[in-house]
Amino acid sequence: WIDSLCIIQDSREDWKMEAATMWEVYSNSYLNISATASTNSAEGLFRERLPHTAKPCRVNVGSTHPHVPSGNYTLYDDQEWLRDVENAPINTRAWVCQERQLSPRIIHYSKDQLFWECNELRASEAFPQGLPARYGFGVKRNLIRSLPSTNPRKLLEIWHSIVSTCTSSDLTYTSDKLTAISALARQV
């Protein structure tokens, strides 16, 4: 479901009708495919990339190294998730807040590799069993799924985080701000 294809772009009436149900599309989807590295709809999903960027770098350090204990090591950029997913161009858009919070599973087409995000796992082509624990993660996803049932203070903290993320994001029309966050408010 692509909003620019599923909503008649010059029709305010069609937009009102469709925007009110977008949350249902994301919530009831099996998988959301995200053009995460794209800055606009013309850029699409696919990019030229170097094959080695989707493979972890493994290094064997011998016993004669003066500073590093001998052994096999996997080298990786622990800021990759933050840079290529959390802070990617698509995630600056307010409507994407709704997608990321409500979609049960997302495949992110980033600039260098595919990333997987669901309620239980974040993974990549380099780390298909799950990203290393040292990876930096933001708070832009799973906030609604972590809502407490009885702790009002925690609920307010989560709601504040959702509102901060969504209201600091970009909208083509600022008048859409309340509509964009209303489905998330309904879930909370």
Strand partners for 74:
58
pLDDT at 37: 93
Most confident segment among 29-38, 52-61, 132-141: 29-38
Three-state SS sequence of 115-151: EEEECCCEEECCCCCCCCCCCCCCCCCCCHHHCCCCC
Most confident segment among 41-50, 151-160, 178-187: 41-50
Average pLDDT over residues 99-128: 91
Higher pLDDT, 142 or 177: 177
Helices and strands of the chain, counted as H and E runs: 7, 6
Rounded to an integer, what distance in angstroms lies between the CA atom of residue 148 and that of residue 47?
40
pLDDT at 88: 92
CB 86 within 8 A of CB 139: no
CA atoms within 13 A on the CB side of 6: 11
- pTM score of the predicted model: 0.83
pLDDT at 73: 93
Residue 31 has pLDDT above 90, yes or no: yes
Residue 147 has pLDDT above 80, yes or no: no
Residue 175 has pLDDT above 80, yes or no: no
Please write the tens of the pLDDT for every residue from 43-70.
Answer: 888 988 888 888 888 899 999 999 999 9
Average pLDDT over residues 129-134: 90
Residue 17 has pLDDT above 80, yes or no: yes
- Chain position carrying tokens 């599923």: 6
Residue 143 has pLDDT above 70, yes or no: no
Please write the tens of the pLDDT for every residue from 64-93.
Answer: 999 999 999 988 888 999 999 988 988 888
Rounded to an integer, what distance in angstroms lies between the CA atom of residue 132 and that of residue 57?
13
pLDDT at 21: 85
Average pLDDT over residues 12-30: 87
Q: Strand order of the sheet with strand 122-124?
A: 32-34, 105-109, 114-118, 122-124
CA atoms within 13 A on the CB side of 186: 14
Average pLDDT, rounded, for the chain: 85
